[in-house]
């Protein structure tokens, strides 16, 4: 065990290079961008709505198309089938997600300034966990909205799962759900962090060959 831990600890104490630090700065900039662009978009088409009803989901709010009128129209339709209204208060994610994104941005800047592998590993693992949990939370919220239907609704429909990604036919509506700019920015952050970590590991291997490290 000690023979394994010593090389691992040496690697964690390794400095990260200039290229990796520049990648971290780019990742921090992408995190800032997530505050200005939507994470996801849902668009609903039906014969009575040929132009579609649009809903953009930001990390902190819902924004409907047509100057916000689409959200009101969607809630009217939801009322008929017993779905809960789409309101910011129902999304606890809006309370913690902006804070977590900001905290991750600070940790990315800390890793840039601290300049060691251990700081880079910490923020990368936290970001991957945050991304995975956020996707699960989004999917779970969609599931609950489609399954917690009021038994007293004017129109009774079987429980359903709105699409998380792609297209689905729900009654007479075509529902399309796709990531938007902020989600692509988040994916870019993950790619930059993982690339910086892989680059640092490769450079460390070239500096200290595995055999030499084991003997140390």
Domain at 178, CATH number: 1.20.140
pLDDT tens, position by position, 64-116: 999 989 999 988 888 888 888 888 888 888 999 999 999 999 999 999 998 88
**What's the confidence (pLDDT) of residue 212?**
45
What is the distance between the terminal CA atoms of the chain, rounded to a whole angstrom? 14
- Band (59; pLDDT cuts 50, 70, 90): very high
Residue 40: inside a domain: yes
% of the chain at pLDDT higher than 70: 88
- Residue found under tokens 């290229």: 19
Hey, what are 126's tokens?
Answer: 């936290």
Residue 127 lies in domain: 16-210
Residue 163: inside a domain: yes
How big is the chain, counted in residues?
216
Buried b or exposed e, range 97-122, using 16+ CB within 10 angstroms: bbebbeebbebbbebbebbebebbbb
Residue 2: inside a domain: no
Average pLDDT, the chain: 86
More confident residue, 210 or 82: 82
Cα–Cα dist 128/143, whole Å: 23
**What's the confidence (pLDDT) of residue 157?**
81
Hey, what are 6's tokens?
Answer: 């010593």
Asked if pLDDT for residue 189 goes beyond 90, the answer is yes
**What's the confidence (pLDDT) of residue 208?**
55
Between the ranges 11-20, 77-86, 93-102, 146-155, where is the mean pLDDT highest? 93-102
Residue 101: inside a domain: yes
CB 53 within 8 A of CB 196: no
Hey, what are 40's tokens?
Answer: 């996801």
% of the chain at pLDDT higher than 90: 47
Residue 88: inside a domain: yes
**What's the confidence (pLDDT) of residue 7?**
57
Q: What's the domain count of the chain?
A: 1
pLDDT tens, position by position, 112-138: 998 888 889 899 999 999 999 999 999
Residue 118: inside a domain: yes
Residue 1: inside a domain: no
The set of residues, in sequence order, having a beta carbon less than 8 Å from that of 130 and lying 6+ positions away, is 100, 104
Cα–Cα dist 52/91, whole Å: 23
Residue 61: inside a domain: yes
Cα–Cα dist 108/189, whole Å: 10
């Amino acid at each position: 065990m000690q023979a394994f831990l010593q090389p691992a600890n040496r690697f964690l104490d390794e400095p990260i290079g200039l290229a990796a630090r520049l990648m971290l700065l780019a990742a921090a900039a992408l995190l800032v961008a997530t505050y200005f662009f939507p994470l996801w978009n849902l668009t609903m088409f039906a014969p009575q709505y040929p132009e579609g009803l649009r809903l953009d989901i930001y990390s902190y709010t819902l924004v409907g198309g047509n100057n916000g009128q689409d959200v009101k129209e969607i809630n009217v339709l939801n009322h008929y089938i017993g779905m809960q209204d789409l309101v910011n208060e129902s999304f606890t994610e809006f309370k913690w997600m902006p804070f977590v994104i900001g905290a991750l941005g600070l940790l990315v800047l800390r890793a840039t300034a601290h300049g060691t592998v251990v700081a880079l590993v910490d923020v990368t693992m936290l970001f991957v966990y945050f991304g995975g949990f956020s996707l699960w939370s989004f999917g779970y919220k969609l599931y609950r909205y489609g399954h917690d239907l009021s038994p007293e609704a004017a129109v009774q429909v079987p429980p359903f799962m709105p699409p998380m990604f792609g297209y689905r036919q729900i009654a007479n509506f075509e529902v399309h759900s796709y990531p938007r700019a902020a989600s692509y920015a988040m994916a870019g952050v993950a790619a930059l962090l993982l690339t910086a970590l892989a680059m640092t590991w490769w450079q460390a291997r070239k500096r200290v060959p595995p055999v030499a490290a084991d003997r140390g």
